[in-house]
Amino acid sequence: MSTTTIVSLPDQSTARIPKMNFLTKENGLLSWLLTSDHKRIAILYLISITFFFFIGGSLAGLIRLELLTPQSDLMAADTYNKVFTMHGIIMIFLFLVPSVPATLGNFFIPMMIGAKDLALPKINLLSWYLYVFGGCLVIYTMAAGGVDTGWTFTTPLSTHYVNTNVMSTGLAIFIAGFSSIFTGLNFIVTIHKMRCPGMTWFRLPLFVWSNYAGSILMVLGTPVLAITIVLVALERTVGIGVFDPTRGGDPILFQHLFWFYSHPAVYIMILPGMGVMSETISTFSRKRVFGYTAVAFSSVAIAVFGFFVWAHHMFIMGISNYAALVFSLLTMLVAVPSAIKIFNWTLTLYKGSITFETPMLYSFGFMGLFTIGGLTGVFLGSSGTDIHLTETYFIVAHFHFVMVGGMLMAFLAGIHFWWPKMTGRMYPEKISQLAAVVTFIGFNLTFFPQFILGTLGMPRRYAAYPPEFQILNVFSTAGATVLGVGYLLPVIYLVWSLKYGAIAGSNPWQATGLEWQTQSPPLAENFPITPIMDHEAYDYDWLESQQAKEVASV
């Protein structure tokens, strides 16, 4: 079996979890709630975003159940509107935006650059509290009857015509937004100022580069969303008129401001996932990432281009033809850096010694599904086809391919990849491989039919649909059930592995990152002494020579 796996675990009969680590350093609830350790905050985040993921997921289940039949029979039409709105808000603001950065990024960026902590540990803790406060407000909103504007808060619907909980949801997003501003700000400062000796910019793992690019988007984009929400709140309470055409305002201005954040936001969601891909694909094909510099800069390019494409969400909203033309062209530019990434990962696989551990299976899932999601994005970016496809299930399928097929796969790849480092124990390999395959099958069964439904013209955001669409909707709902199983399995076996998993040792994957060169789980200050980076990133020869030295000295 030695050719089919790279996993090298210590001898289980003698191996122990190190007694001194960040988990055992202090005990008690307060030691968690008042911690400034980036690793503990990452775990707090992991627990809270998993909680919200399952709330958002149950809402998705309700949506699919309603759409099993053409009539609106499981719930009333307004209830359906509330359910899909809450699904979108929870999944976007409380799961996708913080998913990889706030958990894996928080845990591993300081370790990857050889630092003891993020630059601003208290701000890091504050960002978690803001997240939790925002999350509680969302739960309050749901208990108080929900909100039914769609996650986009389109004016004048949100300001004039609906009488649901727009204000509390707006406040929740405003607060959660500050949580992500603080996370992004902290990452940028940390990556600039906290790198260990020898850790130059081009020795940084690509995970750090892509989180850096994502952080730029968080820092520049989120404040614009914040002021937009303030304006919506004022419009709704005082009736100030900036977005109200009867008073001389302009609802299109709302769209510009909203999408100025919310388009870059999809890159906030996907970029950190792409960083996970670079790590897993390199590790499980035992090769340096092909075209390191190109992959690093493609992250930055996505961040930069991402700010100049927002109006492609507005092709049918009354922007000028010339604006549509320019934004259509700019949108296609984003395909270039995304393609650079996919091609470079493919070339990393080429002649690599590939093994198929769970993180790698999820990564393959990501590459395939993200490519489909990304390419259908080009259809939607062409203003001509967009006019036919927008507001149909084609859009729904497109962004779920990118966000669920892409980002969620990347998140699960990352969680499995770094689980041994975070907890000191391995997850069970066989069942997790099964979960990865189930997720992939369930995902395709759920969302592929939606592309067809979209091209046939089924509109999104309605509780009822013409009966001829039923067969494809039944496929989609069946797929969602399979997908649900695929997401429940990891929760069960990962919790199980906390107690019964095999002892992982410090470097089970034989990976090269600095985070793997210290004990698992790490010490509270990460490294016993400040490391010095004296080799390039993903240098497997260096790793081998290190191990040879160790053997020689023992």
Partner 1 sequence: MNEVQAEAHEHPAYQRHHFETIAQQFDATNFAMWLFLLTEVMFFGGLFTAYLIMRNWYYPAFVEASHQLNIGWGTANTGVLIVSSFTMAMSVWNAQMRRKKGLVACLLLTFVLGLVFLGIKSIEYTEKYEKHHIPGFHYSMSSFLDPASDPEVHNAYPEDKPLQLDMARHTELYFFLYFAMTGMHALHMIIGIGILAYLIVRAQAGDFTTGHVTYIENFGLYWHFVDIIWIFLFPLLYLISRH
Contact residues toward partner 1 (CB under 8 A) are 115-117, 119-121, 123, 181, 185-186, 188-190, 192-194, 197, 219-224, 226-228, 230-231, 234, 238-242, 247-250, 253, 256-257, 514, 517, 525, 529-532, 534, 546
- Nearer to partner 1 by Cβ, of 193 and 388: the residue is 193
DSSP state at residue 310: G
- Nearer to partner 1 by Cβ, of 1 and 238: the residue is 238
Residue type, position 518, single letter: T
- Nearer to partner 1 by Cβ, of 240 and 354: the residue is 240
DSSP state at residue 105: I
Residue type, position 118, single letter: L
Residue type, position 269, single letter: M
> Do 334 and 306 meet the contact criterion of CB atoms below 8 Å apart?
yes
Which of 222, 193, 192 has its CA nearest to residue 98? 222
CB of 187 to partner 1, least distance (A): 10
- Nearer to partner 1 by Cβ, of 198 and 457: the residue is 198
Which of 104, 151, 108, 106 has its CA nearest to residue 127? 106
How is residue 279 written in tokens?
A: 């790590």
Query: For the chain, what is the radius of gyration of the CA atoms?
Result: 23
Residues 6+ apart with CB under 8 A from 496: 428
CB of 213 to partner 1, least distance (A): 15
- Nearer to partner 1 by Cβ, of 191 and 494: the residue is 191
Distance (Å, whole) CA 395 – CA 283: 34
- Nearer to partner 1 by Cβ, of 167 and 434: the residue is 167
CB of 93 to partner 1, least distance (A): 17
CB of 305 to partner 1, least distance (A): 18
- Nearer to partner 1 by Cβ, of 503 and 543: the residue is 543
CB of 529 to partner 1, least distance (A): 5
CB of 225 to partner 1, least distance (A): 9
- Nearer to partner 1 by Cβ, of 29 and 554: the residue is 554
CB of 239 to partner 1, least distance (A): 5
CB of 66 to partner 1, least distance (A): 36
DSSP state at residue 114: T
Residue in this structure with the two tokens 């036919």, named with its chain if needed: 388
The contacts found for 462-469 with CB under 8 angstroms, 24 or more apart, are 462/77, 462/80, 463/66, 463/67, 463/72, 463/75, 463/76, 463/77, 463/80, 463/81, 464/70, 464/71, 464/72, 464/77, 465/67, 465/70, 466/70, 467/70, 469/70
